[in-house]
Chains A and B, each alone.
Chain A
């Protein structure tokens, strides 16, 4: 394989270099499992806190929640910016591990901030902001690490495995938190302390098992660590045409240049368009709750249904994506979301509606979340992976934010039926456009033959 790549002097798609390394075909790469385990533990830690925060504000602190604005929109904006910066910093120094690790550490430390903040609104706001910043910083470098340590032809599965583990943590977190509250008679501080300990464990696991730049696995895909470059670095990405010499680290100016990558631009366009037609989970659950008229104490369990399906199907759909090309599952996944809208509008109610909607909603996530990263990864040069993924995730997130605001407005103005019909129409149009956009990516190096 090295022969092949040196023959073609880096003009061939990145990823071939990783085909045989670091995992043998048929097994999920070690770093992916390590990152999955870290995400699992970290998600337990963060979802514990997320699940109890509303209760803590009202019962623990006696705040009037109608008064306590969370500045959600502001945080979303800040996270988007931080995400882009995190991606760029990771690429610039090849320090994916350092940047992602700092993100994990910051989030873990924010639990202590929550504990120390006491009843101070400012302190709580600061701790929450630190948590979001940590999350924003780590996501893109983490996904870049996954793609850098997996063969291009099994990226779908790698991301599937990671997302399944991640979702498992998100499922366990709230359960752990409520069990703790129940056992300690509402000792919120205990939840924060346990969450902190779990978060620290995640950071330590990350440090111990996730390969950094100096490791052979990363060196193979990223080129050698800074220093005298020992000969040609195999597997450098297209667009970074250097023959043997260390390419200069990308500059921040170069981030918009990513849009010049033909395939990536199309993937970004498709993801953003579809994001702008995705009304958001909370709306789906709220509409379900209204249609079925069940008690809101069961409301928190709805996301668990989606998560369970996501968790079960993430790996199979990832494998499927590797076989069929990632374009199709990504599109069909959004078609599943369209079906969810249709179900919410349709005549069926009761348990069938609940099960079908949650199943399809889970399918939507399993077929799109990790698959999108697997779709985009091969289109990105190895040295621009983290910034590219950050741009992609930000585009999708901004699209979704727009969709949530627009849907909320449409609901208020015209009621649920018309708002849903509009959302469905928007999604259908976005799907058609995305299918057109992604057709141009078929030539992308998704299916790499192993020679």
Chain B
């Protein structure tokens, strides 16, 4: 071997064959780690996709339905309890990411993993059996059924439709179950802000709540960094901004008050406080819940509202309730639960 060749082999380090062998061994180790972890992660995590339900929406009033987030067989499926929140919890309802129900109609937002992942809004009848399935885009976030059970609305998060690729936008859809009329994206509605017709490509709607006439509704619209509460009309297909900084409205059973989350400064991950607006006096009042709530609240009755909050020590979510007049204290209703719906 010449001096040059010796120098070359020294600067090059181990031979090609040795490097390939070492890399192969490393690859085998890494593959083992990856496969082992994946197999363990997959074990016991079978996502329930069943829509079949062990119970229905019948059985008298005063029941609370919700999505159970407790580990085990019923995880991710709808369960029910008396409104008091006590007693055994039969699970075995449909598997949903978000759920709401009223007057014999259920709305179950599902997400199926796959390539690409798909989402669905599944309309359920009073036996919680599937009646209609609407394919959706994005990640289910809000579900609402009008008090009569006729109008359904949902909101999904979608990513990738703006130039800032890592930002999100929302898609809100409305379905009239009586006529079958479906609006997959309500962004086209005629919007009025400050008395003027408003056009902007960046409008996003979310969190619809319907009035008793199944025509009027409230929702949130966001545009240019601001959020507005809008009052919408199905027949004239128009909406007008009525108030700034009020998100995810929820109309009270008597239709006179609107509960919503209001953004407050310095709130961290969930910078919202729950407020209730009296629609007649236009006076709003903060509720006794001091924690940040990111949910569209549910009126348990005309005096109390319920909402989900992340649980302590890593539990996914609990349902709490608080008086709607600003008094009292928040009370834990159901552990390991989200998406409350009350059957009257």
Q: Which positions in A face B, CB cutoff 8 Å?
A: 53-55, 58-59, 62-70, 72, 121, 175, 178-187, 189-190, 193-194, 197-198, 200-201, 204-205, 208-209, 211, 214-216, 219, 225, 280, 282-283, 285-286, 289, 295-301, 404, 407-408, 411-412, 415-416
Decide if B166 touches A215 in the complex (CB within 8 Å): no
Q: Kindly report which residue of chain B lies nearest to residue A189, judged by CB atoms.
A: B41
Q: A72-B166, A216-B8 are in contact. List 7 more A-B contacts (CB 8 A).
A: A54-B159, A66-B170, A72-B164, A208-B20, A297-B119, A299-B161, A411-B201
Question: Given A178-B115, A297-B137: A187 and B42 within 8 A (CB)?
Answer: yes
Q: How distant is A88 from chain B, measured CB to nearest CB, in Å?
A: 25
Of A62, A193, A208, A280, the residue contacting B37 (CB under 8 A) is: A193
How far is B191's CA from A446's CA once the two chains are assembled, in angstroms?
Answer: 58
Q: B204 contacts which chain A residues (CB < 8 A)?
A: 66
Contact of B160 among A181, A187, A299 (CB under 8 A): A299
* Cβ-defined contact, A59 with B47, below 8 A: no
Q: Which residues of chain A are within 8 angstroms of B139 by Cβ–Cβ distance? A: 54-55, 58-59
Q: Mark B147-171, 1 if CB is under 8 A from A, else 0.
A: 0000000000111111111111011
User: A34–B1 Cα gap in the complex (Å)?
Assistant: 28
Choose the segment among B23-31, B173-181, B249-257 that binds chain A (4+ C-beta atoms closer than 8 Å).
Answer: B23-31
Contacts of A301 in B (CB 8 A): 116
Measured CA separation A187–B164 after assembly (Å): 26
**Which chain A residue shows the least CB distance to B44?**
A185
Also in contact, A67 and B271, with CB within 8 A (given A187-B42, A205-B23): yes
**Given A189-B41, A190-B37, A193-B33, are A412 and B201 neighbors across the interface (CB < 8 Å)?**
yes
B316 within 8 A of A: yes
B168's contact among A66, A180, A185, A215, by CB below 8 Å, is which? A66
Q: Is B90 an interface residue (CB 8 A)?
A: no
1/0 per residue, CB under 8 A from A, across B33-66: the answer is 1100110011001110000000000000000000
Task: Please state if A286 and B113 are interface contacts (CB–CB under 8 Å).
Answer: no
Closest Cβ of chain A to B269, distance in Å, is 6
Chain B residues numbered 100-114 whose CB sits less than 8 Å from any CB in chain A: 111, 113-114
Q: Are A295 and B114 in contact (CB-based, < 8 A)?
A: no
A121:B113 contact, CB within 8 angstroms: no
List B contacts of A53 (CB < 8 A): 166
Provide the residues of chain B in CB contact with A187, threshold 8 Å: 38, 41-42, 45
Contacts of B167 in A (CB 8 A): 65, 69-70, 72
Q: How far apart are the CA atoms of A215 and B7 in the complex, in Å?
A: 10
Q: Which of B42, B111, B163 makes the CB contact (< 8 A) with A404?
A: B163
Contact B171 A296 (CB under 8 A): yes
Given A185-B45, A209-B19, decide whether A286 and B137 contact each other with a Cβ distance below 8 A: no
- B323 an interface residue at 8 Å Cβ cutoff? no
Contacts of A59 in B (CB 8 A): 97, 111, 139
Min CB gap B329→A, angstroms:
24
Report yes or no: A62 in contact with B316, Cβ–Cβ below 8 A.
yes
B115-A182 in contact (CB<8A): yes
Q: Can you list 27 A-B contacts with CB-CB less than 8 angstroms, sorted by A residue number?
A: A54-B159, A62-B317, A63-B269, A65-B157, A66-B168, A66-B170, A67-B270, A67-B294, A68-B168, A175-B115, A178-B116, A179-B115, A182-B115, A187-B41, A189-B41, A193-B33, A193-B34, A193-B37, A194-B34, A197-B34, A215-B12, A225-B11, A280-B163, A297-B116, A297-B138, A298-B116, A416-B201
Quick one: which of B38, B97, B111, B141 contacts A184, CB cutoff 8 A? B38
Give the residues in chain B near A225, CB-CB below 8 Å: 11
Say if the beta carbon of B202 comes within 8 Å of chain A: yes
Name the residue of chain A whose CB is nearest to the CB of B294: A64
**Distance to closest chain A CB from B246 (angstroms):** 15
Alpha-carbon separation in the docked complex, A121 to B267 (Å) = 13
Does B117 count as interface, using CB distance less than 8 angstroms? yes
Q: Which residues of A contact B47 (CB under 8 A)?
A: 185-186
Q: How far is the CA of A161 from the CA of B238 in the complex (A)?
A: 55
- Separation of A440 and B160 alpha carbons in the complex (Å): 40
Closest approach, in angstroms, between the C-beta of B323 and any C-beta of chain A? 25
Contacts of B26 in A (CB 8 A): 200-201, 204
Per the bound structure, the CA–CA distance linking A55 and B8 in Å amounts to 50
Task: Provide the residues of chain A in CB contact with B45, threshold 8 Å.
Answer: 184-187
User: CB < 8 Å: which of A58, A186, A197, A295 contacts B135?
Assistant: A295
Interface pair A208/B19, CB less than 8 Å apart: yes
Kindly list chain B residues whose C-beta atoms are within 8 Å of the C-beta of A193.
33-34, 37-38
Collect the chain B residues with CB atoms within 8 Å of residue A62's CB: 310, 316-317
Q: How far is the CB of A235 from chain B (nearest CB, A)?
A: 18
Q: Residue of B at shortest CB range from A302?
A: B160
Cα–Cα distance between A181 and B112 once the two chains are bound (Å): 10
B38/A190 in contact, CB under 8 A: yes
Contacting pair B42 A183 (CB below 8 A): yes
Count chain A CB atoms within 10 A of each CB in B26, B41, B138, B170 and give the residue with the most: B41
In whole Å, how far is B311's beta carbon from the nearest beta carbon of chain A? 11
Q: List chain A residues, Cβ under 8 A from B160.
A: 54, 282, 285, 296, 299-300
Which among A58, A181, A298, A416 has the highest number of chain B CB atoms within 10 Å?
A: A58
Q: Does A283 contact B163, Cβ atoms closer than 8 Å?
A: yes
B22 at the binding interface (Cβ < 8 Å): yes
Complex Cα distance A211/B13, Å?
A: 10
Q: Contacts A67-B269, A187-B42 hold; do A178 and B137 have CB atoms under 8 A apart?
A: no
User: Closest B-chain residue to A66, C-beta based?
Assistant: B168
B88 an interface residue at 8 Å Cβ cutoff? Answer: no
Residue of A nearest to B119 (CB): A297
Structural contact, B41 and A184, CB atoms closer than 8 A: yes
Chain B min CB distance to A290 (Å): 9
Q: In whole angstroms, what is the CA distance A246 to B26 when docked? A: 38
The 3 A-B pairs with the shortest beta carbon distances in the complex, nearest first, are: A187-B41, A65-B168, A296-B137
- Find out whether the CB atom of A215 lies under 8 angstroms from the CB atom of B11: yes
CA distance A197 to B32 in the complex (A): 10
- Whether B321 is near chain A, meaning CB under 8 Å from some CB there, is no
Which residues of B lie under 8 Å from residue A54 when comparing CB positions? 139, 157, 159-160, 166, 168
The reply to whether A408 and B137 form a contact with Cβ atoms under 8 Å apart is: no
Residue of B nearest to A413 (CB): B200
B319: min CB distance to chain A, Å:
14
